[in-house]
Amino acid sequence: MTSLWLAVVLAAVGCYLLKLAGVSLPESILNHPKVQRVAQFLPVAMLSALVAVELFDGGRRYALDWRILAGVTAGVIALLLRRGFLVVFLVAIGVTALLRLIT
Amino acid sequence: MEEPLPERGVILRAAVGIGLYALAFGASVGAFAVGSGLTVAQTMVLSVVMFTGASQFAFVGVAASGGSPFAALLASLLLGVRNAFYGVPVSEILHPRGLARLWTAHFVIDETTAMAISQSSPRARRYAFWATGLILFSLWQLGNFAGAMVGRAVNPSDIGLDAAAPAVFLALLWPGLRRRAARWVALGGAVVALALVPVAPPGIPVVAAAGVALVAGLLPQREPAEQSEEREVT
């Protein structure tokens, strides 16, 4: 087994075990009101961090592709217009692809 | 017989939308992986067993940028830590017991968690989790495999797919932003992550954003009015 194969298997199993650990926490911990509040806030903080990192992370430095930013901004407009998930997705990649084509 | 779930159609449409995104995003991950030197088999082990897009992308990205396979392993695990935290709200919604934990756990990812928590009734939350999870899992495998097959022929950025991840994470985040406290948490998470980008290894900035949720959740609650505000909207 090459080291790449070993890393692939360990990473895949490790990511599964992290998910399993999350759903195996004792009920007494989960029912605590503060834990419930933390649980509600966690996806919000992390999804927001993912948006920021996807937009501005250039690999340990800041980078921004304005075409991606324009595409995501178009996606935000779609969200404000209460469009569905797929519309937001298609608008974002469509605008980005178009800008990349014409610039 | 239970009466039909009123939100069923809305949830299914959203889940199919996420699935179609997963098909396209999965294809870009598969193409990226094979183009970066992983075999089709390795790509599919990541797709089926890891089954968490950001970690897969991080693994391939670090491996592709010359990082050691074990740096890639670490980056993917660090990004996967957030799925353990998602287990907290998911457990409250599904209450998995015994063996059910083993397969429920596999579907605890950004999209299923966000879809589940953004519903307004317990039944709708359970339905949203499984509808999103099963549709997304199927189309994710198909996408990864198709992408791996196409391999180097596809350049994801040519069709704008590099804008897909931020746009989709934002769309998933959107319903959660109706609460004022959540908007502050979202801002805090983004600021913490961005501040750490230049100094922390890949994956750490997103994991560190969990600290914002921890602090916000443990702070004494001082806005009783917010409860009624939330009920009004949902």
What does the DSSP assignment read for B142-197? HHHHHHHHHGGG--GGGGTGGGHHHHHHHHHHGGGGGSHHHHHHHHHHHHHHHHHT
* CA B1 – CA B79 distance, rounded (Å): 41
Residues contacting B50, CB < 8 A, separation 6+ = A11, A12, A15, A16, B56, B59, B76, B80
ipTM rounded to 2 decimals: 0.81
Write out residues 23-82 of B within 8 Å (CB-CB) of A. 24, 38, 42, 45-46, 49-52, 54-55, 59, 63, 65, 68-70, 72-73, 76-77, 80-82
In terms of pLDDT, which residue wins out, A68 or B210? A68
CB B206 within 8 A of CB A53: yes
Q: Please report which confidence band the pLDDT of residue B227 belongs to, taking 50, 70 and 90 as the band edges.
A: very low
Partnered with residue A62 across adjacent β-strands are A57
Helix (H, G, I), strand (E, B) or coil at A62: strand
Tokens found for residue B229? 């505000």
With a threshold of 0.90, does the pTM exceed it? no
Using CA of residue A72, residue A77, residue A80, residue A85, what is the dihedral sign?
Answer: negative
Pick from A3-7, B56-60, B185-189: least confident: B56-60
Q: Is B12 on the interface with A (CB under 8 A)?
A: no
- Asked whether residue B225 carries a pLDDT value surpassing 50, the answer given is no
pLDDT in tens, A27-86: 666 667 887 788 778 778 878 988 898 899 887 889 999 999 999 999 999 999 988 767
Q: pLDDT exceeding 90 applies to what percent of chain B?
A: 40
| pLDDT score of B65 | 53
In terms of pLDDT, which residue wins out, B176 or B19? B19
* CA B83 – CA A22 distance, rounded (Å): 7
CB B132 within 8 A of CB B18: yes
Backbone angles phi, psi at B71, to 5 degrees: -65, -40
Q: pLDDT exceeding 70 applies to what percent of chain B?
A: 86
Q: Find the CB nearest A35 among B88, B102, B187.
A: B88
Question: Distance (Å) from the C-alpha of residue B45 to the closest C-alpha of chain A?
Answer: 7
Candidates B175, B203, B150; CA nearest to B24 is: B150
In terms of pLDDT, which residue wins out, B84 or B190? B190
**Average per-residue pLDDT for chain B:** 84
Backbone angles phi, psi at B118, to 5 degrees: -85, 0
Q: Find the CB nearest A46 among B13, B20, B209.
A: B209
